Structure 1
Amino acid sequence: MRKIIEEREKLKLQGRVRVFKIWLYNILENENSPYNQIYNVFALFIVITSSIGVLIELTPLEAKLPPDLDIFLRDYEEVVLIFFVVEYLTRLWVVSNFTDDFKRTYFSYESPNKLSKLFFALKEAFRPKVQWMKTPYAIIDLLSILPIIRPLRAFRILRVLRLLKIIRYGGAIKSFIFAIKEQAYLFLFIFFTIITWIVILSLLVYIFEYNAGNELFVSMWHAIYWGIVTISTVGFGDIHPVTDPGRIITSIMIGGGIVLVAALTGTFSAALVSRLMTLKEGGLKMENLENHIVICGWNETAEEIMEQILSMKIEKEKPVVIVTNLPKSAIGIELPRDVFYKRGDFIQENILTEVGIEKAEHVVIVAEREEGLSERNIDARTALASMLIKTLNPNAHLYVEVLLDEDADIFQKRMRVREVIIHGQILGKIMFTSILNPGATSLIKTLVDKERGIKKVKITGLGKFENFGQLLMYTRKYGYLPVAVERRGKIHLNPKDTFILEKEDFVFLIPAGGGED
């Protein structure tokens, strides 16, 4: 039993590390992540501000940095270099799973020479990281951190190359441009309205001030400059009207300018927020997920599954992904950060690929109802998703919910689905069993309870046993009762004591109920 507890704690720690790694990946590498957009803005600020000193050194102007600013920028550059070194190493870590790649290659590579197996496994485990290091962005990152070696700081070109990282963090600029494109016509309309407003009123004021002999308005361009400063409500005061008509027009210009500038900034803010919300609503990429749980669709069944997962903290042991057409606000339960949400249609291959379906361990497809779809059509969507998932990941444990009884056999026999649940059928059987055997419902609820219910464990995780009788005697010492053995997908309920056990078998255990001794 101690092995079970230790293995569970180990899985929990590995799950937390994996989830943390996925979040780092989405922050650093996934351009569709809102967290990546925020990080890119922060990184752009660091790149630009840390390059001020070297840019001034390279300019032909005779401007010198004040001593205090020079000292600050040098210290600041030290901190920035350390930051980018940490960033580079973090990116190198998140691009692949070295341990999993090593184990998979080592145990699958057939060679009697252990040294040869070790070398080949190390080579394959390092391959994705080396491939990443060869990418243009990674080369830029490496060049930008070379000045961490003090002798190389003499080469100013290496310090200037840090500016190339602006290309790396172009995601923030792309979002800025995308936000403008989304509202391009409205932006252009407001922008040209502002230009027209400035030019017309500035020239009118210029005419009145020129005839009044106001020498501050030297030319029409001075007047337009005054108009730009005035409409932005800055008003430096270096140029100002002295005539009554000029002051009246100035008041009108300021009032209209406040409205127009507010409309422009409001439109841009709305477009940018809309862009970030679109990314937040399921824009994460999760191709690097492994051995995770994917829930396709959302209904009361999926909600119950999710609540059980959260109550048992399974999401801490292995990542959980929800794929649905519903917006996140319609899910109905608060999802922790360890649970990933992807908005999209789970019958589309690109959506499934983005949630790492090829490496998923368990996939659940529920009968997600949509307006205008009959029960037959919903089951057809489930069938299409099942076939697609089995094509992408033949080893996935697939569980489906169907609405029509006659469709269940098709899923089990032709699609090799592990479990098929007919919507409402199990509930009906439980209620009927309770009629025949009062109290059966309480028993069934206890058996599926997350704390006191059935536990499934691999035989080898408990020890070595020749038959079921030996297993029974061993588990009873620790307060557990074995009730069934699973072998290659087939359940052997309450087998005889002489039932021979195999290494690949699983056993279902019921923990002690806590009654009187």
Structure 2
Amino acid sequence: MSDSEIKPGLLVSLCYRLDRSDIYQKTKAFFYNFLENPRSAWRWWVDGTMIFLVLGSIFLFVLGIRYPLPDWADDFEYVAVSVFILEYLLRFWLTSNMHNTIIDEYENAELVGYQFEPGKVLLKAFREKFSYILSPLGIIDLLAIVPSYRPLRILRFFLLFRLFKLFRYVNSVNTFVSVLREKRIELGILALFISFIILSSSTAIYIFETQEAGGEITSYFDAIYWSIVTISTVGYGDITPATNEGRVVALALIIAGIVVISFLTSIIVSGFTRKIDELHRIRALSLIHRRKDWIILFGYGRLGHAVVGHLKPQIKKRLLILDNREANVEIAREQGYIALQFDAKKANELKAIMEGSEIAIGLCLTGDDIANVFAALAIQRIAPNAKVFARVNDPAHTEIIKSSGVDYIFSSADVVAEIAAEYIGQPVAFAAIQGIISRDSNFEIDTIIVREGCDVESHKLGDLSFSGFNLRCLGVVTAVNSSNNHRAISIKNNYFYFNPPGEFKLGCGDMLVVLGHEDNVTRFRDHLVSGKGVLIS
């Protein structure tokens, strides 16, 4: 069909219609996320299903060589091939957008003023489509379908090419291939060295181990076979040198084999070492996109360690640790957390990491106030509704961090100062709190109920001798909403008054929330029931 036979108006109009079609765009985006997008929530299920079909069909193929297969084996093959055909067609469709190519060429022709040639444009668009068919993975996908043609049994051999489909679905295989690709220069030099050794040793053994000299080498192929088996340190023993000269060649080849394997191992290991961080990153991104409510912690220093150590196990599953120091990231990974090396000042990268996921809480705990500001701004940009906590290292930067939109700001110096002041003013309460934090089982926070008829009923809270029992009253839970200006927290049908003043009046049924040693709590409760020694005399 010539260019004149193709109506450019109809072709371009159809392309513009496809470009404006929401159904077409959404359908193509859906299948792209389903098959191509590595961050799609469906990707794990798609890869797992395809791996199962590939391995299952090959297993049945191998099993059918020696044993009769059950009736459902043919049905399994039909299902597998149908899925492979559908996948092949979808990948062909997703390879490029023909209508975009045609629209671009048409608009360029209108802009520059040259004649639009639909035939050449269609050829260019089809060439982009056929790039998938001629690609290595496209050829493998096609060969995975060919064996389904039963009349030609010879084509069943191509079923083994389905194994190569695993390159697409198994990340570790792709990583190994990428390592080989990156190390192709080193591997090429090593291959030349191995070829030289094999050629030299094969020639030498072929000369020395003739049948006339009592050797077992009957052809040059035997010599090459023996050299490869020997240099690989396998040593089957089916061909052994009989002459002294042949044994010298064998000794030299064994030593060369050890050297070659050492070099090969070091090349591969060095390549994988450089890929380890990439593997961790791929795994982390895969896990990130399976959840929606992440807690992001910037900075895994001493403060970060302390915060994480006090989180509940179910909360730790939602924790993502980001730190710019590789050592801290390695420590977090060894402790079983999802961690990535990340510079908080590069806020734009956070959007790429969290694409498709949501941030519930952000903890900016680095030792750099500027980094905390950048981290807070990045979180606010991605998740405006997230709660952000920020650490202030220099009090002079407090206003700057406040302006970044954080919800809570705290200073390590202020916390230490308050602890010191509490210790000076209330050493007993400080010891109790320290005991709870350090998980000392002798310290506890408990409730004591004011029973009807108790001596403390209708008394003020300040009349109770908490200090005489080395206790600290943290608050009172009561059913009465006091008319005083005490700050109350509503708890179902009750109210909790935190650290109420001494004028707080107690009533029947009120619960005292006390902190201290468990023995002292028990003594105070017993004295409260008996009505002795509880009130200040």
Q: Report the TM-score, using the length of structure 2 for normalisation.
A: 0.53
Q: Which residue of 2 aligns with 1:395?
A: 385
Q: Tell whether the 8 Å contact from 2:295 to 2:360 is kept in structure 1 after alignment.
A: yes
Task: Tell me whether 1:416 sits opposite 2:405 in the alignment.
Answer: yes
2: distance between equivalents of 1:393 and 1:473? 29
CA gap of 1:237–1:472, structure 2 versus 1, over 3 A, is closer
Give the SS at the match of 2:248: helix
CA gap of 1:245–1:43, structure 2 versus 1, over 3 A, is farther
1: distance between equivalents of 2:446 and 2:281? 36
Alpha-carbon RMSD: 5.5
Q: Which residue of 2 aligns with 1:428?
A: 417
2: distance between equivalents of 1:355 and 1:241? 64
CA gap of 1:512–1:423, structure 2 versus 1, over 3 A, is closer
Q: Which residue of 1 aligns with 2:223?
A: 223
* Higher relative contact order structure (alpha carbons within 8 Å, sequence separation ≥ 6): 1
Q: Which residue of 2 aligns with 1:190?
A: 190
Identity %: 20
Q: Tell whether the 8 Å contact from 2:208 to 2:246 is kept in structure 1 after alignment.
A: yes
- The match for 1:290 among 285, 289, 292 is 292
Q: Tell whether the 8 Å contact from 1:323 to 1:344 is kept in structure 2 after alignment.
A: yes
Give the SS at the match of 2:284: coil
Give the SS at the match of 1:424: helix
Using the TM superposition, give the Cα deviation of residue 329 of structure 1 relative to its aligned residue in structure 2, in angstroms.
6.1
Using the TM superposition, give the Cα deviation of residue 466 of structure 1 relative to its aligned residue in structure 2, in angstroms.
12
Q: Tell whether the 8 Å contact from 1:283 to 1:343 is kept in structure 2 after alignment.
A: no
Q: Which residue of 2 aligns with 1:326?
A: 325
How do 1:144-155 and structure 2 match up within 5 A?
Answer: none
Using the TM superposition, give the Cα deviation of residue 294 of structure 1 relative to its aligned residue in structure 2, in angstroms.
0.9
Q: Tell whether the 8 Å contact from 2:293 to 2:359 is kept in structure 1 after alignment.
A: yes
CA gap of 1:173–1:330, structure 2 versus 1, over 3 A, is closer
How many pairs does the alignment contain?
Answer: 368
Q: Tell whether the 8 Å contact from 2:362 to 2:386 is kept in structure 1 after alignment.
A: yes
Using the TM superposition, give the Cα deviation of residue 217 of structure 1 relative to its aligned residue in structure 2, in angstroms.
3.8
Using the TM superposition, give the Cα deviation of residue 396 of structure 1 relative to its aligned residue in structure 2, in angstroms.
1.3
1: distance between equivalents of 2:308 and 2:290? 22
1: distance between equivalents of 2:168 and 2:512? 55
Task: Tell me whether 1:483 sits opposite 2:498 in the alignment.
Answer: yes
1: distance between equivalents of 2:210 and 2:75? 52
- The one-character-per-residue Cα deviations of 1:112-143 (angstroms, maximum 9, x if unpaired) are xxxxxxxxxxxxxxxxxxxxxxxxxxxx9xx9
Q: Tell whether the 8 Å contact from 1:411 to 1:417 is kept in structure 2 after alignment.
A: yes
Task: Tell me whether 1:306 sits opposite 2:308 in the alignment.
Answer: yes
- The one-character-per-residue Cα deviations of 1:56-110 (angstroms, maximum 9, x if unpaired) are 7xxxxxxx95543x4499779979x99xx9xxxxxxxxxxxxxxxxxxxxxxxxx
Q: Which residue of 2 aligns with 1:10?
A: none
Give the SS at the match of 1:284: helix
1: distance between equivalents of 2:262 and 2:52? 26
1: distance between equivalents of 2:216 and 2:395? 88
1: distance between equivalents of 2:49 and 2:267? 23
How do 1:125-144 and structure 2 match up within 5 A?
Answer: none
2: distance between equivalents of 1:40 and 1:476? 49
User: Structure 1: any 5+ residue segments left out of the alignment?
Assistant: 1-27, 57-63, 86-139, 144-152, 369-377, 455-464, 485-492, 498-508
Using the TM superposition, give the Cα deviation of residue 347 of structure 1 relative to its aligned residue in structure 2, in angstroms.
2.9
2: distance between equivalents of 1:255 and 1:213? 25
2: distance between equivalents of 1:352 and 1:382? 16
- The one-character-per-residue Cα deviations of 1:36-74 (angstroms, maximum 9, x if unpaired) are 8xx9899869834632554x7xxxxxxx95543x44997
Q: Tell whether the 8 Å contact from 1:399 to 1:419 is kept in structure 2 after alignment.
A: yes
Give the SS at the match of 1:361: strand
User: Structure 2: any 5+ residue segments left out of the alignment?
Assistant: 1-35, 84-137, 142-149, 448-478, 505-510, 516-520, 529-537
CA gap of 1:356–1:292, structure 2 versus 1, over 3 A, is farther
Q: Tell whether the 8 Å contact from 2:215 to 2:243 is kept in structure 1 after alignment.
A: no
2: distance between equivalents of 1:231 and 1:449? 61
Higher Rg: 2
Using the TM superposition, give the Cα deviation of residue 306 of structure 1 relative to its aligned residue in structure 2, in angstroms.
0.6
1: distance between equivalents of 2:49 and 2:256? 35
Which amino acid in structure 1 is aligned with residue 297 of structure 2? I
2: distance between equivalents of 1:72 and 1:398? 60
Q: Which residue of 2 aligns with 1:180?
A: 180
How do 1:101-180 and structure 2 match up within 5 A?
Answer: 165-166=165-166, 168-180=168-180
Using the TM superposition, give the Cα deviation of residue 360 of structure 1 relative to its aligned residue in structure 2, in angstroms.
0.9
How do 1:193-208 and structure 2 match up within 5 A?
Answer: 193-208=193-208
2: distance between equivalents of 1:289 and 1:255? 54
Q: Tell whether the 8 Å contact from 1:282 to 1:343 is kept in structure 2 after alignment.
A: no
Which amino acid in structure 2 is aligned with residue 224 of structure 1? I
Q: Which residue of 2 aligns with 1:244?
A: 244
Which amino acid in structure 1 is aligned with residue 404 of structure 2? M
Q: Report the TM-score, using the length of structure 1 for normalisation.
A: 0.55
Q: Which residue of 1 aligns with 2:394?
A: 404
Which amino acid in structure 2 is aligned with residue 230 of structure 1? T
Which amino acid in structure 2 is aligned with residue 346 of structure 1? A
Q: Tell whether the 8 Å contact from 2:51 to 2:166 is kept in structure 1 after alignment.
A: yes
Using the TM superposition, give the Cα deviation of residue 411 of structure 1 relative to its aligned residue in structure 2, in angstroms.
1.9
CA gap of 1:410–1:329, structure 2 versus 1, over 3 A, is closer
Q: Which residue of 2 aligns with 1:263?
A: 263
2: distance between equivalents of 1:279 and 1:180? 16
2: distance between equivalents of 1:473 and 1:295? 29
CA gap of 1:212–1:43, structure 2 versus 1, over 3 A, is farther
1: distance between equivalents of 2:375 and 2:38? 26
Which amino acid in structure 2 is aligned with residue 298 of structure 1? Y
1: distance between equivalents of 2:193 and 2:69? 47
Which amino acid in structure 2 is aligned with residue 344 of structure 1? F
2: distance between equivalents of 1:281 and 1:305? 23
2: distance between equivalents of 1:473 and 1:170? 54
1: distance between equivalents of 2:492 and 2:52? 63
Using the TM superposition, give the Cα deviation of residue 199 of structure 1 relative to its aligned residue in structure 2, in angstroms.
0.9
Which amino acid in structure 2 is aligned with residue 305 of structure 1? V
Q: Tell whether the 8 Å contact from 2:294 to 2:360 is kept in structure 1 after alignment.
A: yes
Q: Tell whether the 8 Å contact from 1:321 to 1:340 is kept in structure 2 after alignment.
A: yes
Q: Tell whether the 8 Å contact from 1:347 to 1:388 is kept in structure 2 after alignment.
A: no
Q: Tell whether the 8 Å contact from 1:212 to 1:243 is kept in structure 2 after alignment.
A: no
CA gap of 1:419–1:265, structure 2 versus 1, over 3 A, is same
How do 1:82-101 and structure 2 match up within 5 A?
Answer: none
Q: Which residue of 1 aligns with 2:374?
A: 384
2: distance between equivalents of 1:341 and 1:73? 49
